With several copies, the nearest count.
Chain A
Amino acid sequence: MGGLDDLYQQLILDHYRNRRGRGRIEGASASVHEHNPVCGDECYLDILVEDDRITDIRADGDGCSISQAAASMLTEVARGKDLESALDLVEHFRLVMHGDVVPDEDILGDAVALGGVAKYPVRVKCALLSWLALRECIAGYREATATGG
């Protein structure tokens, strides 16, 4: 069961059982709703942006341990980042999930524990769900502020 321990590191199970940053933000600067067509899991992501910086971020929805832990870790590491660094963060995580780079703890924080997921292609979608939602969220925010002001 080495594989299992590798995938479900203690840190992951901990984030799964004790979700950080869970819920919705009233008056969010941007929100998205993503779902995983493979399993039907859903993710609501809200961000609050002030001065180009994510001052609050919350994720909601149900899903498996990997998707829930990934969302929990995301809210921790993304909170306080400016939008550009947040996008870099997502991109680094995406590349890690596709096995293209090794995970960097300095960048990812607790989410470094998700590195083992890369070996399980179906679960990669679970881990990426909330992270790619953040990318969408930022894109949506920028579009809205660019056109609406």
Chain B
Amino acid sequence: MGDSTHTALDARAIRAEFPILSSPRPGADGVHYLDSAATSQKPERVLDAMDAYYRETNANVHRGVYEMAAEATQRFEAGRDAVARLVNHPREGTIFTKNATEAINLVAWAWGVRELREGDEVLVTMMEHHSNTVPWQIVAGITGATVRFCPLTPEGDLDMDALRAMLGDRTRMVAVVHVSNTLGTINPVEEIVSMAHDVGALTMVDATQSVPHMPVDATAIGSDFLAFTGHKMCGPTGIGVLAAQPGRLEDMEPFLGGGEMISDVTTEGSTWNDIPWKFEAGTPPIAEAVGLGEAARFLGEIGPERIRSHEMAIAQQMLDALDDIPGVTVLGPRDIARRGASVSFTLDGVHPHDIGQFLDSRGVCVRAGHHCTKPLMRHLGVQSTARASAYLYTTDEDITALHDALAGCRAWFGAP
């Protein structure tokens, strides 16, 4: 990997590994998929790994003595190893959940319901995804704790001075997104984690939009908890990850109860399995872990540094293309070094839904809506935006198609 970071990524070659990107859809000459922040496409090898699992060695894991079950367990746990390696995190702190949302809820419920008290504060930011807001609101509702929202600067960065001022004795948890899915903003999570730890608070980093797109070193970030999701990182749906400090997990009571997470069960009570399994109740997402492991290997081989470089170039092209269309307003930071390749924008006189619909007719897929960030939308004073988001398979042709379709969209709706 060391060397590969210095050669640019060949997005066209990579694209050929993604079946859906080369199969033309009706009514459009190929698909310009610019909605990877919602979910990524999957390379053939990830689909093949899951299919092979089902066809060759499908069996329930961990308990079977027969060979097929042992092989299933081996492929499942190898998936965990690959994911842990990608984010430089110990395997025993790497828990499979069903998505990033469950990973965050796991902490909110297992830790929050038991530990939060009236007067305690959970600090989130105004740019959080609902998945890192609503769990804390729900748990606050049960425990009497308070959820506070850290404001943003006018450019769409976190207001670090405000954050500093909000941190205090009452702060029990600081939950912050690494890269905003709406604004693209990259937050200084290492700094935030250390500020939070200084006041004795725990930390949850929502790395859903960073792990797929850039090097993420969970150990360097040092947060107590870090969450991400499989389907946005070339992996399947139905799986997410909570990367937690092992010691923290040892101290915590379990969340979901059931098979696999126990050591012993009696009518009087139960004792728990070792981590990570203590937090994985029931049959885990086995094929999904196999697929996600393959996705992690795929990303690791290409190199997160190279993916990030490619996306910086694409993000710049995107900003330039959007600037070229009269009436377009881009939200979030303009400095490529401080943002990801997920770009929200509005077009005067045309509603985001209509933008999305029109662009689809030109084979360009973008998202329109509030992107599960309604507090942010209110803060920005918009109801919804259009959002184009890139990934390692995005090419300049996709950006040109976006540009031309947007120009056509203006004309069609007779925008000012």
A residues within 8 Å of B by Cβ?
1-4, 7-8, 13, 17, 35, 37-42, 62-68, 120-123, 126
Contacts and interface: CB of A to CB of B under 8 A. Distances in A.
A35 B264 contact: yes
A39 B383 contact: yes
Contacts, number: 75
Q: Which 3 A-B pairs have the closest CB atoms?
A: A64-B353, A64-B351, A40-B383
A42 B383 contact: yes
Q: Which of A4, A13, A64 gathers the greatest number of chain B CB atoms within 10 Å? A: A64
Contacts of A39: 352-353, 368-370, 383-384
B183 to A, nearest CB: 16
A63 to B, nearest CB: 6
B269 interface: no
Contact of A4 (B70, B351, B358, B370): B358
A8 B65 CA distance: 14
A40 B376 CA distance: 12
A40 B70 contact: no
B55 interface: no
A37 B353 contact: no
A122 B74 CA distance: 10
Q: Which of B74, B354, B370 gathers the greatest number of chain A CB atoms within 10 Å? A: B354
A62 B346 CA distance: 14
Contacts of B353: 39, 41, 63-67, 122-123, 126
A123 B383 CA distance: 16
A17 B70 CA distance: 27
A138 to B, nearest CB: 21
B317 interface: no
A37 B262 contact: yes
Q: Which of B70, B74, B377 gathers the greatest number of chain A CB atoms within 10 Å? A: B70
A144 B361 CA distance: 46
A41 B69 contact: no
Contacts of A41: 353, 383-384
Contact of A3 (B27, B273, B368): B27
B63 A38 contact: yes
Contacts of B262: 37
Interface of B: 27, 62-65, 69-70, 73-74, 262-264, 273, 351-354, 357-358, 361, 368-370, 374, 377, 383-384, 412-414
Contact of A122 (B27, B64, B413): B64
B261 to A, nearest CB: 10
A1 B263 contact: no
Contacts of B383: 39-42, 62-63
B386 to A, nearest CB: 11
7 contacts: A37-B262, A40-B383, A65-B354, A66-B353, A66-B354, A68-B351, A122-B63
Contacts of A17: 414
B384 A120 contact: no
Contacts of A3: 27, 361
Contacts of B413: 13, 65
Contacts of A35: 263-264
Contacts of B273: 37
Nearest to A42: B383
A38 B74 CA distance: 16
A117 to B, nearest CB: 10
